[in-house]
Amino acid sequence: MQTINTIKNLAAVLKHWKQAGLSIAFVPTMGNLHAGHLKLVAEAKAKADKVVVSIFVNPTQFGIGEDFDSYPRTEAQDAKQLAAQEVDILFLPSVAEMYHSNAKTTVSVAGISALHCGLSRPGHFDGVSTVVCKLFNMVQPDMAFFGEKDFQQLAVIRTMVRDLNIPVKIHAVATIRESDGLAMSSRNGYLTPEQRKIAPQLYQALCAAKEAVLAENQAFAQIERQQRQNLESAGFAVDYFSICRAEDLLPAKQNDNELVILAAAKLGKPRLIDNIQFKIKAL
């Protein structure tokens, strides 16, 4: 595995791959890798000749008071894991390499970026879409892999790729969970032992809401309200718990078919997000 820190050196290697007709898969990460990230890498390796993984803690997607400075950075350990997975390139740029000191351009995906996480984290998805667009320009992959845990992020990136005609195929990979159902996340490390015991209730609430929707005997607003109350009683500070259309993440109606329930809640220091996708009935 090559570790590359500059766009120039990355481009030189990619040029040879392209000339040889090799397909390139890309997995963008912020590091502190866990089994969920490694699943993305495994999927990428199964579908392409070469795999590039980036590690870059992107400052533009962190808001005021968020955890950019304290976000876990474990590059040496991450590199060992990626080498063991036989990744071809680890792209490990600095902030100065990624952002010109006088940068003036932001990529913003209107509408969908303002919902859910976008309401409580203004500017977050502009930071995400901008850095992913830049990375796509640098790596020029044929395909890129993202986890479904960050469902809204996935939707934002898919929309950006469509609207800007970026020639990359987006692959979604199912959420990897701990044995008790907690979605794997770099921020789980912030949980105290007692909070870690409580944290799986977020996924349990999503599962309970799904069953209530499928039972078709309660209004969606009532289901959302009940699960918010359950989570708050358990010690969560709920940001949102929303039954949405999977297509555009707008509020679902009783006759919608493909749904996703999105949830975000703070438990102590970390803000946990999760979701569950399902169909109500066959069309």
CB 266 within 8 A of CB 237: yes
- pTM above 0.85? yes
pLDDT in tens, 26-47: 999 999 999 999 999 999 999 9
Find where tokens 């195929």 sit.
169
CB 50 within 8 A of CB 88: yes
Q: Which of 276, 272, 26, 278 is nearest to 145 (CA)?
A: 26
Give the pLDDT score at 32: 96
SS3 6: coil
- In which residue ranges of the chain is CATH 3.40.50.620 found? 2-173
pLDDT in tens, 82-132: 999 999 999 999 999 999 999 999 999 999 999 999 999 999 999 999 999
Domain 186-275 has CATH 3.40.50.2300: no
Give the pLDDT score at 281: 75
Give the pLDDT score at 282: 57
Give the pLDDT score at 254: 87
Return the DSSP state at 46.
Answer: H
CATH number of 2-173: 3.40.50.620
Residue type, 272: L
Q: Which DSSP string corresponds to 212-269?
A: HHHHT-S-HHHHHHHHHHHHHHHT-EEEEEEEEETTT-PBP-TT--EEEEEEEEE-SS
For the chain, helix (H) and strand (E) counts, in that order, are 10, 9
- In which residue ranges of the chain is CATH 3.30.1300.10 found? 186-275
**CB-based contacts of 222, cutoff 8 Å, min separation 6:** none
Catalytic residue ranges: 37
Q: Which of 225, 210, 230 is nearest to 279 (CA)?
A: 210
In the predicted model, residues of the chain with pLDDT beneath 50 are 283
Cα separation, 199 vs 197, in Å, equals: 6
Cα separation, 9 vs 172, in Å, equals: 29
SS3 69: coil
CA angle 265, 269, 272 (to 5 degrees): 30
